[in-house]
Amino acid sequence: MEQVETPRQLQRLQQYQDELVWTLGTDDAIVVRPGLIATFFFEGGSSIAVRKKIVACFDAFYDKFGSHLRGKQIGSGKYTKMAKDGYAANRSTALANTDPHDALEWTISSEPTPEWAPAYAMQCLTRRELHETWGHKSYLKFTLSHTLLFEKNGTSIYQNLVQFVCNALSPIHGYGGLSPVLPYDFDRYLPNEYELAQRFIGLDVDSMSFSAGAHELQNHIKGANWLTILGSQFVQKLGGETSLRAQLASWPNIVMSTYPGGLIIQAGEYPDLGAPEDGAPISYVAVNHVVKPIRTTEPGSLHYHPPQQNGFDKSETVSWYARFDDATPVLSPPSHAPAGA
């Protein structure tokens, strides 16, 4: 049988596995791990109709990954272990939350404690009706184990879930790719995320994305990633879908798919760590070059900046958002499209 060579992106994940995982001394107590994430910002989270769609997204996640889930939190309640009927109870609570003046906050996770980083998780935070009138966007995010990329049809499982969420919520914008995953109680590990982001340019910094839709990402996008999700308003600001396809036509490994009210741009067959010896993933650079006009110009700060510790302050945040700007997007575009494109 002919042996298939492991793609470079997956080789790097294997190569740097030890640097990407931080533990508290045991293999079980993982506090930082690499994850395959997708984050979505959407409107109407205060309405009953959209909340039902959010529950449908959680149902889809639970149906696929429920066997991994060990922890949960909803509303103002504490983070607790997932009992046998725990998901059903949370689901009923979510559906009963029909007051547009109350937020829906919900997390399900593969970890029984908020002190460990989950391999699998989904979380949401909706905005109150008043805050929606101010332009604040609701938020949903899921995390999958990066090991899924090594499994047969693993990328398809991830892509299908992204498509499901996009079809359900019609996000205004979003993104997906590799990111350090921190615990539910994440604050003490922000320096770890900072250090990893300095070393691996392809990693997204996403620990505080739950607040971004109410601030720096109300009216702009975060930037390019493996997946860059653009609602129709942003597609039109960039000249329309036909123009976008034409601008990226020289890059056969950059493919696009649609959802009701938007477009998903995928930069390569696999997400790229951006290891030191590789530098900026050139497909990410190409997408960044095209979407830069709609990237936020007021990124705020990616972290609380802990005194005497590594972390993103405002100036370093600006530099991180611009991390792909100095590379040239026309260098040696790959000559083959990804399988199935």
pLDDT at 341 over 70: no
Q: What is the mean pLDDT of residues 218-239?
A: 97
Query: 76 versus 228: which is more confidently predicted?
Result: 228
Q: What is the mean pLDDT of residues 83-98?
A: 96
Q: What percent of the chain has pLDDT over 70?
A: 93
pLDDT reported for residue 311: 85
Structure token pair of residue 77: 């309640």
Lowest mean pLDDT among 91-95, 115-119, 200-204, 209-213: 209-213
Lowest mean pLDDT among 6-20, 54-68, 265-279, 305-319: 305-319
pLDDT reported for residue 75: 94
DSSP per-residue codes, 37-104: EEEEEES-TTSHHHHHHHHHHHHHHHHHHGGG--EEEETTSPPEE--TTHHHHHHHHHHH---TTS--
Q: How many CB atoms lie within 10 A of CB 304?
A: 11
| pTM to 2 decimal places | 0.94
pLDDT reported for residue 196: 97
Average pLDDT, the chain: 92
Q: What is the mean pLDDT of residues 74-99?
A: 95
Contact 183, 115 (CB under 8 A): yes
Token match 């990329």: residue?
A: 149
What whole-number distance in Å separates Cα of residue 226 and Cα of residue 271?
5
What whole-number distance in Å separates Cα of residue 206 and Cα of residue 159?
19
Size of the chain, expressed as the number of residues it contains: 341
Lowest mean pLDDT among 52-61, 101-110, 142-151, 305-314: 305-314
Token match 């497909």: residue?
A: 283
pLDDT at 89 over 90: yes
Query: 311 versus 114: which is more confidently predicted?
Result: 114
Query: 5 versus 18: which is more confidently predicted?
Result: 18
The pLDDT tens digits for 12-32 are 999 999 999 999 877 679 999
What whole-number distance in Å separates Cα of residue 245 and Cα of residue 243?
5
Residue 98 backbone dihedrals phi, psi, to 5 degrees: -105, 0
pLDDT reported for residue 3: 58
Beta 80-81 vs 227-231: how paired, if at all? unpaired
The pLDDT tens digits for 231-277 are 999 999 999 999 999 999 999 999 999 999 999 999 999 999 999 99
pLDDT reported for residue 304: 76
Cα–Cα nearest to 45, from 129, 108, 123 = 129
pLDDT at 340 over 80: no
pLDDT reported for residue 327: 80
Q: Helix, strand, coil % (nearest 5) of the chain?
A: 35, 20, 45
Could you give the angle at which helices 48-65 and 154-169 cross, rounded to 10 degrees?
A: 170
